Chains A and B, each alone.
Chain A
Amino acid sequence: QVQLVQSGAEVKKTGASVKVSCKASGYPFVSFDIYWVRQASGQGLEWMGWINPNSGNTGYGQKFQGRVTMTRNISISTVYMELSSLRSEDTAVYYCARMVVLAAGWFDPWGQGTLVSVSS
């Protein structure tokens, strides 16, 4: 079945960087864009950016420009999201999600989420 499996929880210091992985299986990896969405505790969903696994092209939300980098390794069907200069407000669950285009883009499925905790 189509599945996205993310790396485990991370604890980071303020100012550090974190790199979260998302391994895809059950479908042609290069055929679907992957989006990253984060969710702070008790809050809503916040879009961060996307990567096209085939071309490696990326697009980042304005809020994260300059701090986020998304990459991929086609040989292991994995995409990565690296966020730098971490601050306490970056504490959240980070999700990857496959975008399916049916008239518009929809996210299905989502990874299980990776909790990133940032403290001083």
Chain B
Amino acid sequence: SYELTQPPSVSVSPGQTASITCSGDKLGDKYAGWYQQKPGQSPVLVIYQNNKRPSGIPERFSGSNSGNTATLTISGTQAMDEADYYCQAWDSSTVVFGGGTKLTVL
């Protein structure tokens, strides 16, 4: 079965740029999306179709996808961005989620 691999954790200083990767075989041939989940809350879609932001998502969130890796980039990271982030893609009509990355802003 298809797998998406994320680093368990990423740390960033406030105001700096955070990058969270998601790796999968030929992931660049698929579309990738990203969800943010804060403690005790439901996931929220922050990036879809590789690099598109839903309405209401701040411009500091951006995405890219090429080769075997999709990347979520958060520019000017704020304390409120501390959360778990999950990537998502499709393989053979089956949804696949990455294992999640805990972003710490310190």
Contact = CB atoms under 8 A, between A and B. Distances in A.
A44 B45 CA distance: 15
Interface of A: 35, 37, 44-47, 61, 95, 97, 102-113
A45 B86 contact: yes
Contact of B97 (A47, A103, A105, A110): A47
Nearest to B30: A104
A-B pairs with lowest CB-CB distance, top 9: A110-B42, A104-B31, A106-B48, A108-B45, A45-B97, A44-B100, A103-B49, A44-B99, A47-B95
Contacts of B96: 47
B33 interface: yes
Contacts of B88: 106-107
Contacts of A103: 31, 49
B60 interface: no
A109 B36 CA distance: 12
User: Interface residue tally of chain B, by bracket?
Assistant: 20 to 34
Given A44-B100, A95-B42, A107 B35 contact: yes
**Residue among A46, A97, A106, A108 with the highest chain B CB neighbour number at 10 A:** A106
B43 A44 contact: no
Contacts of B67: none
Interface string B52-73: 1010000000000000000000
Given A44-B86, A47-B95, A104-B90, A110 B44 contact: yes
Contacts of B49: 102-104, 106
Contacts of A45: 35, 43, 86, 97, 100
10 contacts: A45-B86, A95-B43, A105-B95, A106-B48, A107-B43, A108-B44, A108-B45, A109-B44, A110-B42, A113-B42
B43 A106 contact: no
Interface string B84-100: 00101110001111111
Contacts of A106: 33, 45, 48-49, 88
